[in-house]
Structure 1
């Protein structure tokens, strides 16, 4: 079995999970692009569930980028103090707010988003996917970094940007916008650190299943 490269025809092999998760909203419970931007920055190295928990009070106090740009860092930090690495993230977000100022001016391109403090390609891909922008990459979060090599789509690598680059080489652009989030959901629900192979709809094409389970 050829595990790597276009000859593996992963677009076909991944169809069962694409069908299952395509179009699913990101687990962050945002109401608009401003909230999505803030929550994506806060969620780095933290859980979506934790960010969802602190979001209501945060956005009641700071409903727009403009309101956020007018506060001071000490006030702001009290609203995100339960978030991992919150002092650094507070600085990033206040700089973003002061730079952009208005919600409607949030950039929605890879270049525009990654030019902002605290936003890498993974975060930019999430924002672009959720706001239905033309695709420029593949969401590569911690679940994708763990699951994609386990399945056999790419070689193991801890660097998300390298995993994304390899996924982009192997998978057709027609599924880029969805496949990262699809693999992420698959990793959250089925292909967990201790995988539920017996429930997996793509087990027959999975490197881990074929070499470790059967």
Structure 2
């Protein structure tokens, strides 16, 4: 088994999770791309569940990017006060709103999205996937960072951008759009920090299962 080489047929090996999670909506409970943009910025170093909790009141007050562009920091802050690093994120979001102004002008390319304050490659990949735009990378959230090396697709690394780069080298481009989210859902549901291997669809090809679990 070539653990980290490009000779592995990962598209075939990962087909069970690609099939299971194909097209499944991101756990952030958004209803349009404006909401998703705001929520991915807020969710950095915070939980999707927490952002889902505060978002109804936030979007009731600010239903569009244009409405957000017309507010000020003191008025905006109470709506996101329960979010981690809310002060910094508030400034980022107000700058984004004042720069773009209208929902229809939200850029849907990697370069356009990552030019915005608070939007890194992970967030941009999520927005591109959810808006059905061509993938320019692979979602590498904290679940993917944990799970992809466990399976044996790439070597372990704490840097999401490095994990993404390594994944892009070994996975065919035609699965980029779905595979990151599929691995993320696997990590959320089954391949937890303490994995539930008995429920996993990938035990036959998983490095961790075959080298750690089976030998204990």
TM-score (norm 2): 0.98
Q: SS of the residue aligned with 1:97?
A: helix
1:105 and 2:122 equivalent? Answer: no
Alignment of 1:118-137 (within 5 A): 118-137=118-137
Q: Give, in angstroms, the shift of residue 11 of structure 1.
A: 1.0
Q: 1:57 aligns to what? A: 57
Contact 1:137/1:177 (<8 A) preserved? yes
Over residues 137-196 of structure 1, what are the superposed CA-to-partner deviations in whole Å (9 max), with x where a residue is unaligned?
001100000000011100001111110000000000010000000000000001000001
Name the structure 2 match of 1:87: 87
Q: Distance in 1 between matches of 2:128 and 2:50?
A: 22
Partners of 1:147 and 1:135 in 2: how far apart? 21
The whole-number CA distance in structure 2 between the counterparts of 1:198 and 1:103 is 44
Aligned to 1:13: 13
- What is the Cα deviation at residue 103 of structure 1? 0.6
> Which residue does the alignment assign to 2:114?
114
5+ long unaligned stretches in structure 1: none
* Offset from partner CA, 1:63-117 (integer Å, 9 cap, x none): 1111101111111110000001100000000000000001100000000000000
Query: C-alpha displacement at 1:135, in angstroms?
Result: 1.1
CA distance in 2, matches of 1:141, 1:94: 25
What pairs up with 1:1-214 in 2 under 5 angstroms? 1-214=1-214
- Counterpart Cα distance in 1 of 2:199 and 2:124: 32
Per-residue deviation, 1:60: 0.3
RMSD: 0.6
Structure 1 residue runs of 4 or more that deviate by more than 3 Å after TM superposition: none
Cα distance between partner residues in 2 of 1:197 and 1:142? 19
User: 1:9 Cα deviation (Å)?
Assistant: 1.2
SS of equivalent residue, structure 1 residue 2 = coil
> Following TM superposition, by how much is the alpha carbon of 1:14 offset from its aligned partner in structure 2, in angstroms?
0.5
Report the Cα distance in structure 1 between the residues aligned to 2:77 and 2:148, rounded to whole angstroms: 36
Instruction: Report the number of matched residues.
Output: 214
Q: Distance in 1 between matches of 2:80 and 2:50?
A: 10
In 1, the alpha carbon distance for the partners of 2:120 and 2:140 equals 11
* Preserved contact between residue 5 and residue 169 of structure 1 (Cα < 8 Å): no
